[in-house]
Chains A and B, each alone.
Chain A
Amino acid sequence: MSQSHRIAGGQIDRGVALRFSFDGKSYTGHPGDTLASALLANGVRLMGRSFKYHRPRGPISAGSEEPNALVELRSGARQEPNTRATVAELFDGLEARSQNRWPSLAFDALAINDRLNSFFTAGFYYKTFMWPAAFWEKVYEPIIRRAAGLGSLSRLEDPDEYDKGFLHCDLLVIGAGPAGLMAALTAGRAGARVILADEDFRMGGRLNAETGEVGGRPGADWAADVVAELAGLPNVRLMARTTVAGAFDHGIFGAVERVSDHLPAPLPGKPRQTLWRIYARRSLLAGGATERPIAFENNDRPGVMLAGALRAYANRWGVAAGDRVVVFTNNEDGLRTATDLQAKGVSVVAVVDSRRGGPLLPGLRHLQGAEVVDSAGRLGLSSVTVRMADGRTEVIPCTALGVSGGWNPNVNIHSHHRSRPVWAEGIAAFAPGADGPAGLAVAGAAAGRLSTHGALLGGQAEALAALGDLGIPATAGDLPKAEDAPVSITPKWYVQGGKGRAWIDQQNDVTVKDVKLAHQENFTSVEHLKRYTTLGMATDQGKTGNVIGLAVMAELTGKPIPETGTTIYRPPYTPVAMGALAGRSRGKEFKPFRLTPSHKWAAEQGAVFVEVGMWLRTQWLPRAGETTWRQSVDREVLATRKSVGICDVTTLGKIDIQGTDAGTFLDRVYANTFSTLAVGKCRYGLMLREDGMVFDDGTTARLAPEEYVMTTTTANAVTVFRHLEFCRQCLWPDLDVQLISTTEAWAQFSVAGPNARRLLEKVVDQDISDAAFPYMGAGNITVCGGLRGRLFRISFSGELAYEIAVPTRYGDALIRKLVEAGEEFGAVVYGTEALGVMRVEKGHVAGNELNGQSSALNMGLGKMVSKKKDSIGMPLSQREGMVAEGGYRLVGVKPVNPADALSAGSHFLPEGAAPVLANDGGWLTSMVWSPHLGHCIALGYLKGGDQKIGTRMRAVNFMNKTDVAVEIVSPHFIDPEGERLRG
């Protein structure tokens, strides 16, 4: 297919042909092309459909502000909806499809909406679809939802990788046009650490799209030379294809580098995109300006473009978007399009200048004081209607119209901290206001200095100022000569007098009429205007349209534009792929894994693991022949209670607490007393939050007069340590106490069951007889002939039990040793399920009871809260609502009929009571099958439960539709006297 609209010149490599397809049709382009420039070169103007009316659309811009030319790029799992053809870099084999149309781009059935546009005005849906009420979800909304949306996601896993990185610099320069290049050059030559980032794949900004000279050479050549010099400076990092998306606090910027989007697929080991967090001591916004159109009737046909885009396609890409061109402008810059196209041999048939008395260019038909009032052409522009100064109209055949309504500085990044832009009369646009992000300056067109000279000068001056702030000596080099044309503009926002629709927000189909309706209905504040009409809410965030909309509203209300104001600018500057923001945190790598010391051994045994926070713990260890998890768990429980079982409890938090005030400290952070604990003993500790609710529990041992070892629950290991540090540093800074978390330092195993001691005697070097190492004993030991360790005689299962700890690197060896030593006793290794069964049988509280909503009294542990001393949480635990009779109390639950199953989360209802809130007695917190008792048992919080032991209730679960008669019992299902513990 020939590139019918390709003309001479441009920064493309004509020696290489790239094949690509659009809607299944093949075309060719060249390196340096965007999808849009290549399609235009092939004479394709129609690239999309609008959101609401499904109007045929082509690109209006040559950059990231594009509202119309959105395509689905690539295919399969790499399908990427809503990609702007104007910034999609062409590569060989590129596939693109138009979107939001059916059955085809040229014939779109939903274009019927355009015919019905008089019904589909702004906000019409708020006034209808209310009757009958049930029809919204069933009829109206499904139709709307199916029609809405733009492109599609593939529903397949994104196959590409993403990465994140961190960069630091003295000066971040955002935008590599004349201002940014000059700034980077000035700072780079001074030796400052500079990052120069630009969203484009070719640095130079507008210099690439213009014919003006810089330093006596074509601007694009000057830019290329500067880029080459900067590339040679080790202190400068050039980041093309990198969009600075947001300004955050304290000089931190988020930037997305599109590492591989210009390739068919990322190279091996390379990410598709990288999210950079850039820490900049100073920053400079040199992001240029965006041209805006003038609204007139049917100004949205393919072929109607921004004047600057039309000349960019000609100058940078060697593309004539049309063979007969009309220019419509209200300012001098628009005339450049006519000059440049004419110079390239493109037929410019008329220059429509809404001003009178502007300059006249040789060889062009100037229509001054005239306006384009309408256009024609079903799928692309074929003519415009011009109303002359004298009121008569003329239809001028053309295939492209370049419109210039002036240029809006790209203030976005400067306004990300809610700085309000200010109206600059001279350029008839909003320019950066006060109170921008600290350390961020603005230069060039972004600052409202629209000439090339102004950009160069501003870039240099702001770089010098930033370096001056940082104390980096720098000198102003020679400023290259460049045009310094004054801005001459007579604002014109829309062409009056038409009866049809003049588009402001092209993607969302917001027209001047919609703004007028919003005004008529008193949606006059800019925020109401935006929300009612959806102006500026499309994927381009109103980069070309917003100012026109609010200017129309200003005119209607009679308020000046600056008083009307703008909506808020918020990150990101342009849309950012979610993958880049997520980086590597996805799939199994969403969060790190923490593995226990016995993990390797357990994996060898075929253990089933379970996620416990970040940890993976052994849930159970199936043996050959076991087909259900219950078989494994029952075996583990019964074997432990009958002989001995081993469990990895390393995940419990461990905190070493030392110092002369360690005991005092513990008395204050625990509700019960620890200063009186004998050396060589441990005690169960109950820790409250300051609001009096139970925070955590665990055992704490005293290994020496000034040395304690605390254990916490797995879930709270981090938060308890944080809390203790708060108490130590903030509440009692002069207590002599030091803390260190040793959770990862010790591998710890529970050895439980009647044969626990016999097993451990084979491993531990010291005498651990009941006399030498009684119940709740604790101490330093050695194992296996000299390895240092710790032993605690504590039990979660209710059996004779110990916890033995060795340095973590010996954990794997110890589990193997324990298993070997246990063989003669038929020892089992049990997982978290069996652990849970045994703790419920014993009536110990755990995660489901320690829910942050329960007090010591609720748990039946009220007596542990000493009122003789002040401790964290004690005062507020005594509030009237927390000590009232009849509150929730921990109870045991068993089914009246042992064959009945129970389920956690069931609620207690009195027998025969209606299932309503007033009868809600509480709920079952934890439920297990007790192989020991041969039926289900549960713990629960029951209102007034301490008075209801021995009574009957119902455990009702509407979720699985069960209603079971239960008996309320003591939570201690086995060995309530604790004889086994002391065995």
Chain B
Amino acid sequence: MRYSGFRVIAEALIGHRGWKPIWRDPTPQAEYDYIIIGGGGHGLATAYYLAKEFRQARIAVLEKGYLGGGNVGRNTTIIRSNYLLDGNEPFYEFSLKLWEGLEQDFNYNAMVSQRGIINLIHTDAQRDAFTRRGNAMVLNGADAEMLSRDQVRAMYPFLNFDNARFPIKGAIMQRRGGTVRHDAVAWGYARGADSRGVDLIQNCEVMGMRIENGRIRGVETSRGFIGAKKVGVAVAGSSSRVMGMAGMRLPIESHVLQAFVSEGLKPLIDGVMTFGAGHFYVSQSDKGGLVFGGDIDGYNSYAQRGNLPVIEDVAEGGMALMPMLGRARLLRTWGGIMDMSMDGSPIIDRTGIEGLYFNGGWCYGGFKATPASGWCFAHLLATDTPHATATAYRFDRFLKGLMIDEKGQGATPNLH
């Protein structure tokens, strides 16, 4: 059923009796052409685009918990394409363009809101680096501009301009950056996929892979064996576990990232802001909560929860930047498993096993990539060739020395 303001009004008049289930709960079939493992944002987007853009059928998404329960269900909702390197920027700009038409495309209001993102500058070297980045963005067709200290002050007069340990000297801004209501992204893709015949199968955990003569035949699940011609894995923090079922080791470590939300507050911060002298970034949700985050905890973890030092570190960054913040209260923390890759950039690639494809290594930046990741993974699954914007996301880039290392930290995943 199509959603619209008229439909909402019409339903209100009949007591909302007409709303249909947003998706079915199908019983798994014996075999599919495509199985996507992982019903998070990337998996659902992949299924959606496979069905819609690549006209494929007989597709299932297998999710061990509930749809949208991965990192798409808990993140800081930021979208942007302010990347530096050639391997990344075209992909993220493609993603941002998909965000810009997403709601009309899947007929669901995911509240894509381009209120702008600024990265604050505190040193001359940062300004040089951001100038380089801004120019790279423009060369890739994205938007970027530098703001002076006064321009930043006009936007956010309450930041710490006068008593800061690391004074604000300006910012780089991408006006097309912003935020999206994260759960709605999963639901919109799920609804769109379901309506195109994709079987979304919840509470179906993949326990093993059936591989014969170097070719995938299907997956063993908590709901029995399901055959497949092609299997795409998009399981983020569980990447090593799932690919381990196929005997693969990955250039990935799983780490915990915490994120935070404050109590609801009247509007303070319109766009997204990142502190350049500490680990802190923040935006304000439409409900009024300040949504913020910082660095990963820094140790391998599958626990989906973090520890106190990072919470304190993030609060310190927040107070250093916004001295009024002392009287706001932290309402909730949460922790998700990040698939930290060895150069900080993702992998969308075939594997040594025919019919098995991998999508992962998103570190803690996977949310903004959701549309392009789904599209490019669907492209790879359907055509066996990488999408033009994702050609660099190969496994063998590490063997060949073609890393895409935005932060220049080398093979140390917890520093990306």
Contacts and interface: CB of A to CB of B under 8 A. Distances in A.
Direct interface between A and B, CB < 8 A:
yes
Interface of A: 51, 77-82, 100, 118-119, 121, 124-131, 133, 136-137, 141, 144-146, 148-158, 160, 162, 164, 246, 248-249, 252, 254, 272, 275, 277, 416-418, 517, 520-523, 525, 527-528, 531-532, 534, 538-539, 541, 568, 570-572, 575-579, 581-583, 585-591, 610-611, 689-693, 847-848, 851-854, 876, 879-883, 903-907, 915-917, 919-920, 923-927, 956-960
Nearest to B21: A522
A277 B167 CA distance: 30
Contact of B135 (A100, A129, A248, A906): A906
Given A582-B312, A590-B278, A957 B135 contact: yes
A926 B128 contact: yes
Given A82-B264, A124-B8, A578 B325 contact: yes
B344 to A, nearest CB: 11
B183 A692 contact: no
Interface of B: 3-5, 7-9, 12-13, 15-16, 19-25, 65-69, 73, 86, 89-90, 101, 103-104, 107-115, 122-123, 125, 127-136, 138-141, 144-146, 157-158, 160, 163-167, 172, 178, 181, 183-184, 187-188, 202, 262-268, 277-278, 284, 286-288, 303-305, 307-308, 311-312, 314-316, 318-320, 323-335, 397, 399-403, 405, 407-411
A269 B109 CA distance: 51
Contacts of B122: 611
Contact of A848 (B13, B128, B287): B128
A611 B168 CA distance: 12
Contacts of B333: 246, 570-572
B111 A141 contact: yes
Contacts of A572: 330-333
A591 B332 CA distance: 26
A587 B165 contact: yes
Contact of A690 (B111, B181, B409, B410): B410
Contacts of A126: 3, 108-110, 181, 184, 187-188
A116 to B, nearest CB: 9
Given A81-B263, A853-B405, A904-B131, 18 more contacts: A80-B327, A127-B5, A129-B109, A148-B288, A153-B265, A160-B326, A248-B308, A252-B308, A570-B305, A575-B329, A577-B330, A587-B163, A590-B277, A591-B278, A905-B127, A905-B130, A917-B140, A919-B139
A521 B22 contact: yes
Nearest to A876: B401
B7 A127 contact: yes
A587 B286 contact: no
A589 B319 CA distance: 11
Contact of A154 (B21, B125, B327): B327
A416 B15 CA distance: 40
Contact of A591 (B132, B165, B400): B165
Given A151-B265, A152-B266, A528-B66, A905 B329 contact: no
B5 A128 contact: yes
B334 A155 contact: no
B328 A248 contact: no
Given A126-B108, A155-B324, A907 B132 contact: yes
B267 A153 contact: no
Contacts of B262: 575, 578
Given A252-B308, A523-B22, A905-B132, A146 B327 contact: no
Best-buried of B122, B178, B401 by chain A (most CB within 10 Å): B401
A577 B328 contact: yes
A370 to B, nearest CB: 28
B327 A153 contact: yes
Contact of A917 (B90, B181, B277): B90
Contact of B326 (A158, A575, A907, A927): A158
Nearest to B15: A118
A576 B123 contact: no
B329 A577 contact: yes
A125 to B, nearest CB: 6
A906 B264 CA distance: 42
Nearest to A579: B326
A828 to B, nearest CB: 21
Contacts of A585: 316, 319-320
Contacts of A154: 324, 327
Nearest to B24: A522
B139 A923 contact: no
- Top 10 closest pairs, chain A to chain B, by CB: A852-B408, A905-B131, A579-B326, A879-B401, A149-B288, A158-B326, A581-B315, A575-B329, A522-B21, A881-B401
A526 to B, nearest CB: 9
Nearest to B202: A525
Contacts of B112: 136
Contact of B409 (A131, A523, A848, A852): A852
A416 B128 contact: no
A267 to B, nearest CB: 18
10 contacts: A152-B265, A418-B303, A531-B73, A582-B320, A586-B319, A587-B163, A853-B405, A920-B86, A925-B132, A926-B128
A520 to B, nearest CB: 6
A154 B112 CA distance: 29
Nearest to A520: B19
A590 B165 contact: yes
Contacts of A525: 65-66, 202
Contacts of A591: 165-166, 278
Contacts of A528: 66-68
Nearest to B9: A119
Contacts of A881: 397, 400-402
A611 B320 CA distance: 15
B185 to A, nearest CB: 11
Best-buried of A520, A583, A586, A907 by chain B (most CB within 10 Å): A586
Contacts of B183: 531-532
A852 B410 contact: yes
Nearest to A528: B66
A587 B320 contact: yes
Nearest to B343: A691
Contact of B136 (A78, A79, A586, A920): A920
A468 to B, nearest CB: 28
A589 to B, nearest CB: 7
B160 A149 contact: no
A675 to B, nearest CB: 26
Contacts of B134: 905, 958-959
A579 B305 contact: no
A522 B181 CA distance: 19
Contact of A51 (B8, B20, B114, B264): B264
A587 B410 contact: no
Contacts of A125: 109, 111
B12 A121 contact: yes
B320 A590 contact: yes
Nearest to A922: B132
Contacts of A578: 262, 315, 318-319, 325-330
Given A119-B8, A578-B315, A590-B316, A127 B109 contact: yes
A137 B407 CA distance: 32
A521 B115 contact: no
A923 B85 CA distance: 12
B42 to A, nearest CB: 18
Contacts of B284: 145
Contacts of B303: 417-418
A851 B305 CA distance: 32
B145 A587 contact: no
Contacts of B86: 917, 920
A79 B324 CA distance: 10
B353 to A, nearest CB: 25
Contact of B331 (A137, A541, A926): A541
B286 A148 contact: yes
Contacts of A77: 324
B307 A249 contact: yes
Given A149-B287, A151-B265, A585-B316, A576 B330 contact: yes
